[in-house]
Amino acid sequence: MRPVCDHAVVRAATLGALGLVLALVGCGCGASTSDPPGSATPAGRATTPAPRATSPSQRTTTSEVALAAPRVVADVAAGCRHACARTADGGVACWGDNQFAQLGRGSAGGRHTAARVSGLSGVVEVAATCFSTCVRLEDGTVRCWGHNASGEAGDGSEVVRPSPVVATGLSDVVMIDGGDEAICAVTRAGRVYCQGRATSNAPRTSLGTAVTGIDDATQVAVGEGNVCALRRGGTIVCWGSDADSGELGDGATEPRTAPTAVVDVAHASEVSISGAGGCARVARGELRCWGFASTGREPGCASRMIDGPSGVIQEYCPRPVRLEGVVGARQVALGTGVQAAVLEEGRVLTWNAYDARPPTPAGGVEDALLLAAGSNFVCVRRRSGAVACWGSNESGQLGDGTTQPRQDARDVVIP
């Protein structure tokens, strides 16, 4: 998952605050998806002088106003019930569940609003597992914190890490992604390394371990017991568990210990997976999905009964099929219980294979650039540099200060 979840500039409560945010964005504070990692320009300073105060205790300086303004976000990641945002100044803020210290604030409880992770700078990418978080720094090294029972922090231990530690087995990294209990990375040489329990049919490792047979990867995607890599040229290979539902996209329903080609997909530009299956973004922004990641309504899919004779019938696709109703996608993100794609014009479509409904637009989002999907919730980075989330919220993972679920996107204030 990328899950895929993180940063947000919230709608200001007053016209003055909104004016400041617009001034910051207009001064080039934000980073676009076309910028290379870490190339965001520094946050600007508002030039409008503060109103004259009537007494020293009431006086507000321009610098104090700037500090109070929400930060511009460059990237967002989502875990099972927490989310984190990478800000344009190279920092990170997190919110939501903190059962395993995945917010990077020690053993303190969860947060319904975002809080900065101390001790981090030069961050160019953020990724989340179910209960931990990792970041990639400008120098190609990785720092992780949170749940570590499977060694996903990558420091050689299997104990909870309440603050960032160095993933000692990873270096020269250009991309990271998190899944259920693992982090995988792509190096500059095109190799894939994983730490934690990346697949259910492989032993866990507390240090980054190379995946054999891959030396040309451009992206890695981690799910729940399965991993996929996008190779130069646009082909995709996957390995790990299958659960008899075609989650590996090779046309079969068997687990694989070695990378195996996804069939019927060529010239892909992105892959995203979860425990349900995967989707590849191909030409014209169309999606080819397999396992339970499609809606199950497409030709070539099969049915199976789950949860016993009285359970429900689910549709799955062992081979990739075209996801109906999605064209012009710029990114796809698969979470647990929710799949989402952001379109070029900024709208977000969501779907769930378990109810077989076609992708539908998300409310309150017309300006998304990036997105991340967690466990039944989604967060997006808006064009303004703000972050907004919607969906389940039992642990405050929407970052709006409540635990109320939301059908429409709510902005998150990033300190």
Q: Is residue 45 part of a domain?
A: no
Q: Is residue 6 part of a domain?
A: no
Which has the closest alpha carbon to 206: 235, 168, 242?
Answer: 168
pLDDT of residue 48: 35
The DSSP code for 156 is S
Read off the CATH number of the domain in which 228 is found: 2.130.10.30
Which residue type is seen at 149? Answer: A
pLDDT of residue 315: 77
Q: How far apart are CA 335 and CA 4, in angstroms?
A: 8
Beta strand 205-210 with 368-373 is unpaired
Q: Is residue 33 part of a domain?
A: no
Domain hosting 174: range is 15-27+64-412
Phi, psi (rounded to 5 degrees) for 141: -95, 170
Q: Is residue 41 part of a domain?
A: no
Q: Is residue 51 part of a domain?
A: no
Asked whether 69 and 82 are in contact (CB, 8 A), the reply is no
Q: How far apart are CA 328 and CA 303, in angstroms?
A: 29
Digit-by-digit pLDDT tens for the chain (415 residues) are: 544 333 333 333 333 333 333 333 333 333 333 333 333 333 333 333 333 333 333 333 333 333 446 789 999 999 999 999 999 999 999 999 999 999 999 877 999 999 999 999 999 999 999 999 999 999 999 999 999 999 999 999 999 999 999 999 999 999 999 999 999 999 999 999 999 999 977 778 888 899 999 999 999 999 999 999 999 999 999 999 987 789 999 999 899 999 999 999 999 999 999 988 999 999 999 999 999 888 766 677 776 656 555 566 677 889 999 998 899 999 999 999 999 999 999 999 999 867 768 899 998 999 999 999 999 999 999 999 999 999 999 999 999 999 999 999 999 999 9
Q: In what order do the strands lie in the sheet with 302-305?
A: 270-274, 277-281, 287-291, 313-322, 302-305
Q: Is residue 54 part of a domain?
A: no
Q: Is residue 55 part of a domain?
A: no
pLDDT of residue 313: 67
Indicate the number of domains in the chain.
1
Q: What are the tokens at 167?
A: 């993933």
For every residue of 81-105, DSSP letters joined together read: SEEEEEETTS-EEEEE--TTSTTSS
pLDDT of residue 305: 55
Q: Is residue 80 part of a domain?
A: yes
